[in-house]
Amino acid sequence: MKEKRPRSIDPLRGILVALLALPGCGWHAGLTVPEGARSVGVEVVTRAPNVLERGLEPRLTQALSQAVSDLVGLPLESPSRADFVVRGEILNYRRRGGVRSIDNQLRESAVRIDVRATLVDRQTGKATKEVLEGLWSGYVLGDPAEERTAQNRAIRNLAETLVLELFQPGGQKEENPGVSAE
């Protein structure tokens, strides 16, 4: 009869299992949450009247919700029931020409999205922090889907940046000098 030896776990395998378990165990980025906050909600993003590009608002709302869920150590709740609410507004959307060929044909372009996000205490209605952020996202011309891909890339990046800035410890209102609030 063979004696059973305890199986040892390869240290690398143990680390891999731990890393894979982190997302499912409620791990978050360790951002600070406002005192007394038990939940956070994300309102539907609006756009300024001068922004003519439609369809960005629901995508940014979804991206902000995902970023809050991934990065903030509070449950995501309906904005009408949450202790704190993230409000977003698209301030600007524009396209620009970019790289041209030797024959002066436009080969690459880019889109820019500027956004304001505010963290609001729902009890008092007061803004606890406001952040302005903008981002260019480039794409190669030729495939009509490339502009939307560039938009989605910018939206995801902006959402994560805004959430990180809203929930970082420190000052009350921050502004990116490259973003116009007009």
Task: Provide the pLDDT for residue 73.
Answer: 86
Inform me whether the pLDDT recorded for 14 exceeds 80: no
* Predicted TM-score (pTM) of this structure: 0.76
Find out whether 111 and 95 touch, Cβ atoms under 8 Å.
yes
Beta-strand ranges (E) seen in the chain are: 40-42, 46-47, 84-97, 108-121, 127-140, 173-175
Give how far Cα 77 sits from Cα of 15, 125, 156, 181, Å: 33, 17, 20, 28
Q: What is the pLDDT of residue 179?
A: 54
For 103-125, write each residue's pLDDT tens digit: 888 889 999 999 999 999 999 99
The residues pairing with 24 across neighbouring beta strands, listed in sequence order, are none
CATH 3.30.160.150 fits 33-175, yes or no: yes
> What is the rounded end-to-end Cα distance, in angstroms, of the chain?
81
What pLDDT does 116 receive?
98
Paired with 47 in beta bridges are: 90
User: What tokens does 107 get?
Assistant: 């080969």
What sign does the CA torsion over 103, 104, 105, 109 have?
positive
Instruction: Enumerate the domain spans of the chain.
Output: 33-175
Question: Both tokens of residue 154?
Answer: 């910018």
Residue 23 has pLDDT above 70, yes or no: no
Measured CA to CA, the distance from residue 51 to residue 109 in angstroms comes to 19
